[in-house]
Homo-oligomer: A and B are copies of this chain.
Amino acid sequence: MNVTIRGQTRHFRTVTFDAARNSVLLIEQRLLPHEFKIVATKDFQETAAAIRDMVVRGAGAIGATAAYGLAQGARAFRGNDTKKFSAHTENVFHVLKSARPTAVDPVNAMLDVRREMARGRSVAEKQSLALAAAEEFANEDVEHCEAIGRHGQKLIRNGARVLTHCNAGWLAFVDIGTATAPMYAAQAAGKKFHVWCDETRPRSQGATLTAWELAQQKIPHQIIADNAAGHLMQRGKVDLVIVGSDRTLGRTGEVTNKIGTYTKAVLAARHKIPFYVAIPLSTIDWNLKSGFQIPIEERSENEVLGAWGVLENGKMKNGKRAYVRVANPTSGACNPGFDVTPPDLITGIITPAGIFRPKNLWKHRKKLGFNG
Contact = CB atoms under 8 A, between A and B. Distances in A.
A37 to B, nearest CB: 15
A325 B310 contact: yes
A333 B222 contact: yes
Contacts of A26: none
A128 B266 CA distance: 57
B333 A223 contact: yes
Contacts of A212: 328, 330-331
Interface string A304-331: 1111111110100000011111111111
A245 interface: no
A104 interface: no
Interface in A208-229: 208, 211-212, 214-215, 221-229
A260 B228 CA distance: 6
A325 to B, nearest CB: 5
A222 B325 contact: no
B321 A230 contact: no
Nearest to A231: B339
Contacts of A330: 33, 212, 215
A308 B326 contact: yes
Copies of this chain per assembly: 2
B326 A322 contact: no
A66 interface: no
Contact of A200 (B224, B227, B329, B340): B227
A354 to B, nearest CB: 29
Contact of A331 (B215, B263, B314): B215
Interface residues of A, number: 67
A329 B307 contact: no
A201 interface: yes
Contact of A328 (B211, B234, B262, B325): B211
A204 B200 CA distance: 14
Interface string A287-311: 0000000001000000111111111
Contacts of A260: 225-228, 230
A308 B324 contact: yes
A223 B332 contact: yes
A161 to B, nearest CB: 11
Nearest to A265: B230
A50 B228 CA distance: 30
A48 interface: no
A296 B231 contact: yes
Contacts of A336: 228, 231-232
A12 to B, nearest CB: 16
A59 interface: no
A202 interface: yes
A262 B233 CA distance: 11
Given A201-B226, A311-B322, 4 more contacts: A33-B327, A211-B328, A223-B305, A228-B339
Interface of A: 32-34, 196-197, 199-202, 204, 207-208, 211-212, 214-215, 221-232, 234, 258-260, 262-263, 266-267, 270, 296, 303-312, 314, 321-336, 339-340
8 contacts: A33-B328, A34-B329, A208-B326, A222-B331, A231-B263, A231-B296, A263-B263, A321-B324
Q: Which 9 A-B pairs have the closest CB atoms?
A: A227-B260, A309-B324, A33-B328, A230-B263, A307-B307, A231-B339, A207-B327, A211-B328, A211-B331
